[in-house]
Amino acid sequence: MAAVSPAPATSRLLLSGNEAVARAVWEAGCRVAAAYPGTPSTEMLEVISTYPDIYSEWSVNEKVSLEVAIGAAFAGSRSFCCMKHVGMNVASDALMTLTLTGVAGGLVIAIADDVGLSSSQNEQDSRYWGRFAHLPVFEPSDSQEAYEMTKAGFDFSEKFQVPVILRMTTRINHVKGLVTVGERVAHAAAGFKKEPARWVMTPAGAGKRIPLMFERDKVLRAEAEASPLNIIDNGRDKRVGFVASGPAWMHVRETFPDAPVLKLGFSCPVPIEKIRAFAATVDKLVVVEEVEPLVETELKAAGIECLGKEILPRQGELAPNVLKPAIAKLLGEPVPEGITAPAQVFPRPPTMCVACPHLGVYYTLAQIKNITISGDIGCYTLGAGHPWNALDTTISMGASMGIALGLDKGRGETDKDKRIVAVIGDSTFLHMGMQGLLDMVYNGGNVTVLLLDNRAVGMTGGQSNPGTGRDIHGQEAPRVDFAKLVESLGVKKERIHVLDPYQLPVLFKTIRDEIKIPEVSVIITDQPCVLIDDYKKQKPYEVIDDKCTGCGNCVDVGCPAIHVTRREKVIKPSGKEVELQFVRIETTACTGCTLCVQPCAPEAIVHADLTKPMRLVRH
């Protein structure tokens, strides 16, 4: 991703929320930035990495990234860390002690919530971390505010020696808007000052810091009450007033332009008295927040009458089509017709890329019976879908290892003959899977692990990791040898196999043989993601129509370059009805991986004649 070029003061640039944050991090004089890629937060660090004034890194996981940022802040430098919402679950161990130590240099932690579950396994609300860790939370509602609040966050962090959480959502991260920007202002590092009573959190030291944290809470609440980030827009229609933050404020403003609204930019601690005074100016107060009723609960506890999740859903974005009928019912007005009907769009189920090295793995697993497959987070999670249906569990990053061991140890009579397989990607294995494999070996698990090394963090855009041999800038870096790594974790050398996932017979035989061995084995597939430079395309294939028998074996591979052109139902001599699927291959998309060629019994798939005119096919 190209950097946002330095521009003269007060220049205006079209930036996404992620790009605006990155620009602000650079302008604020930040010296160190770290992250682990995760949608919708990824682009923040990608843009930051293009600024030579900032040390930036893809860390092995979110906990490490936060610890790197903490260390820089301890050294008196301004530092930045970003992650998606589930990433803070991983980093929270460091966060919950950081709240006691505080920081020396300014530290801003951007957390991107995936409201609406665009690309996540849950829809958690990161505003809870402000309450849990006693930290201030800033919530921008557009790119301009994301830029301004990031810069303000560094100043606030240094002034009160406390990290600041910048709570973003997908709607802010990825939507672009015009942003007025400035120039970088350098901040010299003050240097690390030894202060064991503050930085060394033993029980005795931590106990003395807790009262200081409570005193800081009072200061932060007073700051929230007076903060210019909390803005009242006095509307004309006083029947309903709204308290909202982030993109929910934008939805309220769009839906009810004449209503009074209190926008919370500094949302934690909640400015209770400011809201109490605002509530007195309207007939009814409605709290619009995505997704949990945090502010609503605190207001009701403070004796402020309000409505919230009684009339609004607790999941998804609170867009105008949600707000209009809810408020109409509240006011006893007719519900606008058609407003709640979802938009009709052409169905587009998620699938893997053409020639993805994971296709052969799931095609093979789908052919093997009597196995339970523990999955993980990444492109390969799509193995749960059609046509493979070859994934039985997916919980969190790295969980495939521990869950597989639990499936093994917890098996009952009905499962005693089942084989347990765990599937995990290279980046996910390095992120949080290594510990699980170590535990599996140490405790005598009977699991076959498929470690799918495609040399990229594929799901989030092909970023680098310690297994790719490149750093965030594309420069050469040490590359992990996965075979040696898993051997060092205790897997026997004879139980480690490195193979080409495009060689289906070898893949099938290896998996079939290893699941019979009653101990831990690891099969490492070693072919690059088709979307990165390491992948080399081969000559494409096409289908000879006259030879195709409609067996559908190639369709079962799941490659999106293969299209079913005709279906026919026939009765076999046994009397069983089967459906034949006649296909063609989108030659312009095919990369020549041979996955569809190998299961084709009639040998109807051959190299395409690229000298013939391209045939136009109507879908």
Q: Is the pLDDT of residue 6 over 60?
A: no
- Under the banding of pLDDT at 50, 70 and 90, the label for residue 617 is very low
Residue 548 is labelled as binding a ligand: yes
Give the pLDDT confidence of 545-593 residue by residue, as tens digits: 999 999 999 999 999 999 999 999 988 888 888 899 999 999 999 999 9
Of 27-31, 111-115, 609-613, where does mean pLDDT reach its minimum?
Answer: 609-613
| Domains of the chain as residue ranges with CATH | 11-226 (3.40.50.970), 230-331 (3.40.50.920), 358-526 (3.40.50.970), 541-607 (no CATH)
Dist CA 402 CA 405 (whole Å) = 5
DSSP letter for 495, please. G
pLDDT reported for residue 2: 45
Residue 600 is labelled as binding a ligand: yes
Average pLDDT over residues 487-496: 97
Q: Is the pLDDT of residue 612 over 90?
A: no
pLDDT reported for residue 459: 83
Q: For residues 440 and 98, is the Cβ–Cβ distance under 8 A? A: no
Q: For residues 141 and 247, is the Cβ–Cβ distance under 8 A? A: yes
Lookup: tokens for 453: 């090394």
Which residue stretches of 376-516 are H helix? 399-409, 426-428, 434-442, 482-488, 504-514
Amino acid at 298: E
Residue 353 is labelled as binding a ligand: no
- Residue 87 Cα to chain centre, angstroms: 8
pLDDT-above-90 percentage for the chain: 85
What's the whole-model pTM score?
Answer: 0.90
Residue 356 is labelled as binding a ligand: no
pLDDT reported for residue 73: 97
Dist CA 293 CA 295 (whole Å) = 6
pLDDT reported for residue 341: 57
Residue 30 is labelled as binding a ligand: no
In whole numbers, what is the pLDDT of the chain averaged over residues? 93
- Under the banding of pLDDT at 50, 70 and 90, the label for residue 616 is very low
Give the pLDDT confidence of 415-462 residue by residue, as tens digits: 888 999 999 999 999 999 999 999 999 999 999 999 999 999 988 888
Of 106-110, 217-221, 305-309, 585-589, where does mean pLDDT reach its minimum?
Answer: 585-589
**CB neighbours (10 Å) of residue 34?**
27
Q: For residues 119 and 165, is the Cβ–Cβ distance under 8 A? A: no
Q: Is the pLDDT of residue 618 over 80?
A: no
Residue 82 is labelled as binding a ligand: no
Q: Please give the angle made by the CA atoms of 149, 152 and 157, to the nearest 5 degrees.
A: 120
pLDDT reported for residue 444: 96
pLDDT reported for residue 619: 38
